Structure 1
Amino acid sequence: MPHHKAITVSIESQTFNQRFDQYGQWRAEFAKELSVFSAWLEGKGLRNASAMERLSRLHEQTLDDKLTVAFVAEYSRGKSEMINALFFSSYGRRIMPASAGRTTMCPTELTWDATYTPSVRLLPIETRKLGASLADWRLKPSSWLSVPLNAKSGDSVAAAVERVTETISVDVAEARRLGFWVDGADDNPPLNASGLVDVPKWRHAVINFPHPLLKKGMVILDTPGLNAIGAEPELTISLLPQAQAVLFILGADTGVTRSDLRIWQDLLGPHVDSSGMRLVVLNKIDTLWDSLTSKEAHQTQIRKQRQTTAQTLGVPLNQVIAISAQKALVAKITKDDALLRESAIRQLESVLVDTLLGQRHQLLNHALFKGLAELRADAQQILTVRLRDLTEQMQEIAGLQGKNSSARRSIRMRIARERKEFDSSVHKILGLRAAQNKLLNQGFQQLSSKTIKSELASLTAALQGKMLTFGFQKRFFETFDSLKESVEATQEIADQMHRLAIDAFDSLNTEFGFSLTAPQALNLGQYIEDLDKIAQSNKNHFSVANALRFSSNEFSERLVAAISMRLRSVFEAVSNELELWSKASSAQLDVQLKERRHSFLNRSETIERIEQAELDLTERLQELQADIDALASVSEQLQDRTSRLEDSLHSMLSSLDFDLGQPQPVRA
């Protein structure tokens, strides 16, 4: 079988791969432009603490914009083959195991992290009995088995990846502890000839290698069938809901089977209103091809299967796409254009480009535009303060022309008086800062990990070793009500900080001539809605349908640990928003204090030099005018530089030519 020594996406002419590569190149280039802009701000003295925080976030958003595409299916639906066809045909062979029967036995992520060498990292299945979440285990690299691979050799990669299919044989009691056997359930795995249960050897796999798509931020998540998914709550609570795209794969010949419907209703259906895209893919349309039926009859049959599937799952018809992954892979490797058209893989790629990649780019653009506008406003405010101080100095110096020494002493005394008032304003600002920090710490306490741990410890205790009843779902919602109260309490604290800032800024502007602008109020409503969505989308875990699993303490611990990780991300986001708001508010004070202190020093030095006849008034006025002209030039440069960055955002969005609408109907 032919294969490629190096990873070269360009030879495939794959629409999605090429466009994602272009998207990744643009992000890298824009990150460099941001770094240049940051250095320019620093050189002009315009990069305060708030600006540095914003620049850091924009840079991180640009470079680390991960795009997760998850593939979900029961066994033997061709899921791994679809990953091969979409992303890895450049190897000229299969990379993901795609043999008949059960292949991918554990959830598998394909990603690139430069801190690790190319490898397959495997987490032993026994870690399920220890309660910690997958996210916790990621922080313990020594607990994973690392299998090195040669990224330039398709054979080496395939051999290493094959390790994810390994199994071990355990007795029923151990299978129960690991979550693969539920007494009384009708979908337990069969016993082998020795009366044992074959279960995955690994709990999770991370395939780390420098494929161009993965290096540019794509993460591919390959999940096992229903039985294995249900035993790992973190998949359905955290990983799948937060994926930007989930492809639910069915067999075109079988349509929606009973186990398929359970996956959709229990694991995917509750998340269809999330921000990510959800597509249903009918795979293996080639099984419907035969020489006795016309092409038109084939298309009619596929169209009816799509319609039936859409009705059964309750999704729009244009979100059901029919393809043949196996024929697509063969066609790409053999360069068979006719077979590639018959496979219909390009239609799926088109939806991934226009809907998934296009909307992702639009979201990133929106964040970058907003960040640039805030940076420009911050820098322009600094320039405005400097211009005001220089203008006042010019008026002050101009007023000395033709005046005697008495007038100069009068100005020096006025400067001293204003300096004393300034010192009073410093004390007031320090008092404001102390009050704001006190409130900020109160907000952090509301959002601390102790809050989550306390609520979830109580929930865990209620679940331990018990059969689920209707009361447990009520207890689950009570937990989320308490957590929402913590965020609501943080909102009240943020409102207090806002009112405090408004009153203090008004007072400082009136009493001491500052030009402080009250910040906009912080709105945490989005995060309260996020908690509601998490609760609603995961309530099925606490329903009677899942009752049998709760006889296992290990399962309830894994479930609560997974919920904890999702909650932690929400609470950390709230903390970051609160901290950024506080920094932005304080940055204005820092800037204007610094500029005013600098102004006092310049004015005092100028008067002193004039009194000692070391400085000519006309010369000083010329210097000040030159400084004012320089500020005007910097202001123009600021507008020009930020406008050019915005133009870069506009031009890239136009050049990628995304269709940002909903997925269009796809012809069979």
Structure 2
Amino acid sequence: MDFNQEFDQHGAWRRQFAQRLKQLSEWLTEHELMDAGVLARLDQLQSQVKADKVMVAFVAEFSRGKSELINAVFFAGYGRRIMPASAGRTTMCPTELGYDADVAPCLRLLPIETRLQPQSLLEWRSAPQEWERIDLDVNDPAQLAQAIEKVAEVVRVDQAQARALGFWHDETPEDNPLPGPDGLIEVPRWRHALINMAHPLLKQGLVILDTPGLNAIGAEPELTVSLLPQAHAVVFILAADAGVSKSDLTIWREHLAPAAERIDSRLVVLNKIDTLWDDLSTPEYIAAQIQRQRESSARVLGLSEDQVIAVSAQKGLLAKVQQDPERLAASRLPELEQALGEGLLGRRKRILQGVVSDGIQELQRETGRMLHAQERELVEQLQELEGLRGKNATVIRQMRLRIEQEQAEFDSSGARIQAVRSVHLKLLRELFGLLSTTTLKTEVAQLAEALKKPGIKFGVKKTYGESFDRLRDVLQRSQKMGEDIQTMLVNSFKSLNVEFGFSLQPPAAPDLKRYRDDLALIERNHVQYLGLTNALKLAQPEFAERLARALMSRLKAVFDAALVEVEAWNKSAAAQLDGQLRERRRNFTRRIEAVTRIQTAASGLDDRIGELTQTSAALSATQVRLAELCAQLLDDTVPEATSTTPAAEAEAPEQPA
């Protein structure tokens, strides 16, 4: 199964899950089981599945056939090239292809001059008026391809402008572009491009990142320290006849070499194997040549051999357009698509389903606790009413007085319960403060100042280490504070259970360990970026400022995610207490109403016992149905594809939603 078919099945699973989650939400609302805690869990699950994106980044030095490979894998259904892939330099700026249903199909281009300002790319995304916009007709391949050609545009500037934009470095003249006869230097016209289109794969959550060569990558720190590390897979393209060149190795070492735990997220493509096809050589000799290049490239890059795949993107694209299976097999493109599908999507699916499974089980536990509390109240009412059989009016009147007294005592205990809430909220405010943006800015202020200093940033790696140590300590303290709050909740809930007969069970405390892992990844990405080459660039204040802003954007995302998890935990605990308080008050009202009916009608006792018995049976049925709905969601079997449409047809243009 190739990447397109695998992704189609992944999308089918996500759509089916979203539909089942919607059914569960409607059912919970209908049965009055939707409290704040359950709603927070549902919202979290819905956002995790809806916002699940799979980013594949394609990275290569110029003239390696990167854009042609993207055309072959994703856009062959258009019957022509969509990404510019002519001779010479093509994609001159980082280009993201994705789909947002709230935005009409368009190409947005950020002018290169924005590099002269300190805002990060993330900040520029929030200023759409600063981007040039071109509407796209996804059903007109010619218009689409013509519009996207703009990502290859360049402008000619003098040395001073090139230096300010990050494309000219006096310290490393051998890496500078060659000036033209007029002394002007060619640089990209655009800093970043966003393509929004309703391609079937993009609609299902695929994001494609097409990056330019080494010079452009190094000039945009946010690309290296933010976008590329967040990609779920990085496809690094080499030339099959040359293998790993010096500039290829520089890109790999400075920007792509992964940590051990992420090594399987890298695929290397030896492109243009058709240049090795030779009528004077036997097929066996050609295959042996390709195999030697695979082995050599894997050894140099520190990968396993099966992570290096040899293809001909140009022949693969041609074979798909002409529907030539023999040529497609010779291009070896299906091998790459299979590796992307089974490797990338397999890992992503397992991660997503693991997170979803944990969320569903916690949701079931929370809802189950609510049903259990209702069941206890019913059992107590039935036992109470069964004890009235054969009793006279005096006993029934005394029963009513006792219930009213219990209600009064319960109402007067509000201060005791409020004290628990007050202590809980006080501790939570401290925890929220630890994870706030203000704390984050304070802890990285020293690093930000170090990056802004003019000249070579001696000792900046040490400053990075110290800053990240402080951030890890913040998360560690947050974890400890969360555990302290959890201990307080356990003791408080236990006391309330004894005093009021509640069945409160605190939800599991948030585990912030994975956010410390995120910090470690960010630190590695930045320290890797601080090599000698980039140290010279960091001497430029504007470049260092962009790096500092990129760092702050990523750190804020991590701390915001941790804060969301803590808030969900808080809502779950608070909602459980609110729910049982509400149910107890309702129970007092129902008990008094039942005694009143018994006092005024001879058949009232039997009628009320019958009603409660029916309610108990309905509650049992509700518990069974909840288990069924959650079991459906927990089923981790990806549904079989409902269509046998070939991959090439699945890539065909589609009318935007």
- Which of 585, 610, 619 lines up with 1:597 in the alignment? 585
Distance between the aligned counterparts of 1:646 and 1:460, measured in 2? 45
Contact 1:71 1:249 in 2 (8 A): yes
C-alpha displacement of 1:609: 2.5
Distance between the aligned counterparts of 2:316 and 2:259, measured in 1? 29
- Tell me if 1:51 matches 2:76: no
The equivalent residue for 2:523 is: 535
Distance between the aligned counterparts of 1:80 and 1:340, measured in 2? 18
477-486 or 533-542: bigger deviation:
533-542
Amino acid at match of 2:71: N
The equivalent residue for 1:661 is: none
| Partner deviation per Cα, 1:157-198 (whole Å, 9 max, x = no partner) | 101100111111111121111111111212111111211111
Contact 2:225 2:529 in 1 (8 A): no
The equivalent residue for 2:379 is: 391
Secondary structure of the structure 1 residue equivalent to 2:281: coil
- Which of 180, 185, 193 lines up with 2:181 in the alignment? 193
The equivalent residue for 2:359 is: 371
CA gap 1:26/1:525 in 2 versus in 1, 3 angstroms: closer
- Which of 177, 199, 216 lines up with 1:228 in the alignment? 216
The equivalent residue for 1:182 is: 169
Distance between the aligned counterparts of 1:132 and 1:418, measured in 2? 63
The equivalent residue for 1:82 is: 69
- Which of 471, 492, 505 lines up with 2:459 in the alignment? 471
The equivalent residue for 2:476 is: 488
- Which of 613, 616, 625 lines up with 2:601 in the alignment? 613
Distance between the aligned counterparts of 2:638 and 2:9, measured in 1? 13
Distance between the aligned counterparts of 2:345 and 2:540, measured in 1? 41
323-332 or 176-185: bigger deviation:
176-185
Contact 1:46 1:379 in 2 (8 A): yes
Distance between the aligned counterparts of 2:448 and 2:46, measured in 1? 39
- Tell me if 1:553 matches 2:532: no
- Which of 13, 28, 52 lines up with 1:26 in the alignment? 13
Runs ≥4 in structure 1, deviation > 4 angstroms? Answer: 653-656
Distance between the aligned counterparts of 2:109 and 2:457, measured in 1? 36
Contact 2:71 2:81 in 1 (8 A): yes
| Partner deviation per Cα, 1:283-340 (whole Å, 9 max, x = no partner) | 1111111101110001111111111111111111111111110110011111111111
Secondary structure of the structure 2 residue equivalent to 1:249: strand
- Which of 339, 353, 374 lines up with 1:351 in the alignment? 339
- Tell me if 1:524 matches 2:516: no
- Which of 106, 130, 147 lines up with 1:143 in the alignment? 130
The equivalent residue for 1:666 is: none
Contact 2:451 2:544 in 1 (8 A): yes
What is the root-mean-square deviation in Å for CA atoms of aligned residues? 1.8
Amino acid at match of 1:66: K
Contact 1:178 1:554 in 2 (8 A): no
Distance between the aligned counterparts of 2:264 and 2:553, measured in 1? 19
Contact 1:452 1:483 in 2 (8 A): yes
Contact 2:107 2:133 in 1 (8 A): yes
- Tell me if 1:16 matches 2:3: yes
Amino acid at match of 2:160: A
Q: Which runs of 5+ in 2 are unaligned?
A: 644-657
Distance between the aligned counterparts of 2:543 and 2:602, measured in 1? 83
The equivalent residue for 1:323 is: 311
The equivalent residue for 1:458 is: 446
Distance between the aligned counterparts of 1:245 and 1:405, measured in 2? 77
CA gap 1:276/1:163 in 2 versus in 1, 3 angstroms: farther
Amino acid at match of 1:215: K
| Partner deviation per Cα, 1:570-608 (whole Å, 9 max, x = no partner) | 111111111111111112112111111111110011112
Distance between the aligned counterparts of 2:86 and 2:390, measured in 1? 97
Distance between the aligned counterparts of 1:416 and 1:465, measured in 2? 73
The equivalent residue for 2:613 is: 625
C-alpha displacement of 1:468: 2.8
CA gap 1:494/1:267 in 2 versus in 1, 3 angstroms: same
Amino acid at match of 1:238: S
- Which of 110, 114, 118 lines up with 1:127 in the alignment? 114
CA gap 1:472/1:406 in 2 versus in 1, 3 angstroms: same
Contact 2:93 2:190 in 1 (8 A): yes
Distance between the aligned counterparts of 1:401 and 1:410, measured in 2? 14
Distance between the aligned counterparts of 1:497 and 1:346, measured in 2? 54
Distance between the aligned counterparts of 1:482 and 1:502, measured in 2? 30
The equivalent residue for 1:115 is: 102
C-alpha displacement of 1:449: 1.7
Contact 2:138 2:198 in 1 (8 A): yes
CA gap 1:123/1:218 in 2 versus in 1, 3 angstroms: same
Contact 2:56 2:209 in 1 (8 A): yes
- Tell me if 1:449 matches 2:437: yes
Distance between the aligned counterparts of 1:574 and 1:610, measured in 2? 54
Contact 2:269 2:311 in 1 (8 A): yes
The equivalent residue for 2:562 is: 574
CA gap 1:515/1:655 in 2 versus in 1, 3 angstroms: farther
Amino acid at match of 1:315: L
Contact 2:83 2:149 in 1 (8 A): yes
Distance between the aligned counterparts of 1:355 and 1:520, measured in 2? 32
Distance between the aligned counterparts of 1:629 and 1:573, measured in 2? 41
C-alpha displacement of 1:270: 4.1
The equivalent residue for 2:651 is: none
Secondary structure of the structure 1 residue equivalent to 2:257: helix
Contact 2:59 2:234 in 1 (8 A): yes
Distance between the aligned counterparts of 1:468 and 1:532, measured in 2? 25
Secondary structure of the structure 2 residue equivalent to 1:274: helix
C-alpha displacement of 1:349: 0.7
Secondary structure of the structure 2 residue equivalent to 1:115: coil
Secondary structure of the structure 2 residue equivalent to 1:282: strand
Amino acid at match of 1:162: E
The equivalent residue for 2:81 is: 94
CA gap 1:47/1:388 in 2 versus in 1, 3 angstroms: same
The equivalent residue for 2:649 is: none
Distance between the aligned counterparts of 1:223 and 1:273, measured in 2? 24
The equivalent residue for 2:280 is: 292
Distance between the aligned counterparts of 2:413 and 2:498, measured in 1? 11
| Partner deviation per Cα, 1:452-487 (whole Å, 9 max, x = no partner) | 333444323223353335411111211112222221
CA gap 1:479/1:653 in 2 versus in 1, 3 angstroms: farther
Percent pairwise identity = 47
Distance between the aligned counterparts of 1:229 and 1:330, measured in 2? 30
CA gap 1:387/1:348 in 2 versus in 1, 3 angstroms: same
The equivalent residue for 1:164 is: 151
Secondary structure of the structure 2 residue equivalent to 1:240: helix
Distance between the aligned counterparts of 1:651 and 1:169, measured in 2? 52
The equivalent residue for 1:64 is: 51
Q: Which has the higher contact order (CA 8 A, sep 6+)?
A: 2
C-alpha displacement of 1:444: 1.8
The equivalent residue for 1:563 is: 551
Distance between the aligned counterparts of 2:263 and 2:528, measured in 1? 20
Contact 1:250 1:256 in 2 (8 A): yes
Secondary structure of the structure 2 residue equivalent to 1:182: coil
- Which of 42, 60, 83 lines up with 2:29 in the alignment? 42
Amino acid at match of 1:169: R
Report the TM-score, using the length of structure 2 for normalisation.
0.94
Contact 1:271 1:537 in 2 (8 A): no
The equivalent residue for 1:4 is: none
Amino acid at match of 1:222: D
553-562 or 466-475: bigger deviation:
466-475
Distance between the aligned counterparts of 1:67 and 1:272, measured in 2? 21
| Partner deviation per Cα, 1:26-65 (whole Å, 9 max, x = no partner) | 3112211211111011111112111111111222222221
